[in-house]
Amino acid sequence: MRTPYAAALLLLAIALVAPRTLDAQAQRACDRACLADVMTSYLASLIAHDPKKAPVAANVRFTEDAKVLPVGEGFWKTASKLRAFRTDFLDARTGTAAVHAVLEESGAPVLFAARLKVVGREITEIETLVVHNQQEGALFAPDALAAPSPAMVTPPPKDRLTARDKMAEIALRYPAGLRIGSFEKSDVPFAPGAYRLENGVKMAGPGCTFQPPSCENMRSQRLPTLADIKSRVIAVDEQNGTVLLWMDFGKGSLPRGEGKALVTFEAFKVYGGEVHAVEAVFKGMPADTQPGWE
């Protein structure tokens, strides 16, 4: 049984140690700037063909196109240049850094998406999607992505930021609309002038290429019904007003794609309670492809 004196000593010890523990945790936490730096190091390691140039944990799990590979294999061996198009999705709350980018492989453009899990400033999970050509992606216009889209990378005014949970809920109305074939029925709140880029091709919004002029209004745009679509929130970038989803569009999503479906890392610019932009990197993958993590 502790005496009052012993109990007091214990409380004093806790009071002295706790600030040091909190300081250590704060030093090891990876904020937005840290996550962006980790992503920069990771992309540089691809170009250098050297995983050691990134803060990769010893037990890191790496997948490319949903296949588990040893670190340093796959696109790590062939990436040759990083082009100007790069859009980061930084979620400090979950330690997630994700990206849409255009890289090169032997001089040819490649569409690239990645998700990094960062723990203690080390990368513990790497999930990537690499689209080399139109045959893999159905749509393929990397040269149209000369620079990041201002609408996607410009932070919203602070007074128009939407709460984190609400951002995710709004973004998830999008796959819900595809599931029933109507963004109107799933009540996706598209802002006036909202657009959608798919692998660099403007498929909806002003100047769209998919059955114009009907594609200019995203909310009323004619959609396929993709009853088997699956979706998962990857990152919520509260400061930049972006949500990144992983989606498997399921059966019927890829014309003449027997046994395949489109798998995408799709980003949504959400603020003021509305969706202002949608940008996707997707690839035809075997049906029922699972995410690169549990």
For the record, the structure tokens of 293 come out as 């993590």
Q: Rounded to an integer, what distance in angstroms lies between the CA atom of residue 150 and that of residue 175?
A: 24
8 A C-beta contact, residue 35 and residue 97: yes
8 A C-beta contact, residue 275 and residue 188: yes
Pairing verdict, β 260-271 and 242-248: antiparallel
Mean pLDDT confidence for 79-95: 97
Any alpha helices (H) in 29-147, and if so which ranges? 32-48, 134-137
Rg (Cα) of the chain, in Å, rounded? 21
**Res 210: pLDDT:** 85
Q: What is residue 118's three-state secondary structure?
A: strand
8 A C-beta contact, residue 111 and residue 139: no
Q: Which residues pair with 284 in a beta bridge?
A: 262
Q: Is the pLDDT of residue 233 over 60?
A: yes
Q: What is the pLDDT confidence band of residue 21, given thresholds at 50, 70 and 90?
A: very low
Domains along the sequence of the chain with CATH: 32-137 (3.10.450.50), 150-286 (3.10.450.50)
> If residue 16 lies in a helix (H) or strand (E), which one and from where to where?
helix 4-28
**Res 94: pLDDT:** 96
DSSP 160: G
pLDDT tens-digit series, residues 96-128: 999 999 999 999 999 999 999 999 899 999 999
Q: Which residues pair with 128 in a beta bridge?
A: 64, 114
Mean pLDDT confidence for 12-19: 47
8 A C-beta contact, residue 38 and residue 97: yes
pLDDT tens-digit series, residues 178-193: 999 999 999 999 999 9
Q: What is the pLDDT confidence band of residue 286, given thresholds at 50, 70 and 90?
A: confident
Q: Rounded to an integer, what distance in angstroms lies between the CA atom of residue 217 and that of residue 205?
A: 6
Among 13-22, 153-162, 202-211, 266-275, which stretch is predicted with the lowest mean pLDDT? 13-22
Q: What is the pLDDT confidence band of residue 212, given thresholds at 50, 70 and 90?
A: confident
Q: What is the pLDDT confidence band of residue 257, given thresholds at 50, 70 and 90?
A: low
Q: What is the pLDDT confidence band of residue 232, given thresholds at 50, 70 and 90?
A: very high
Q: What is residue 36's three-state secondary structure?
A: helix
Q: What is the pLDDT confidence band of residue 131, given thresholds at 50, 70 and 90?
A: very high
Q: Is the pLDDT of residue 15 over 80?
A: no
Mean pLDDT confidence for 217-246: 94
Supply the pTM of this predicted model. Answer: 0.89
Q: What is residue 37's three-state secondary structure?
A: helix
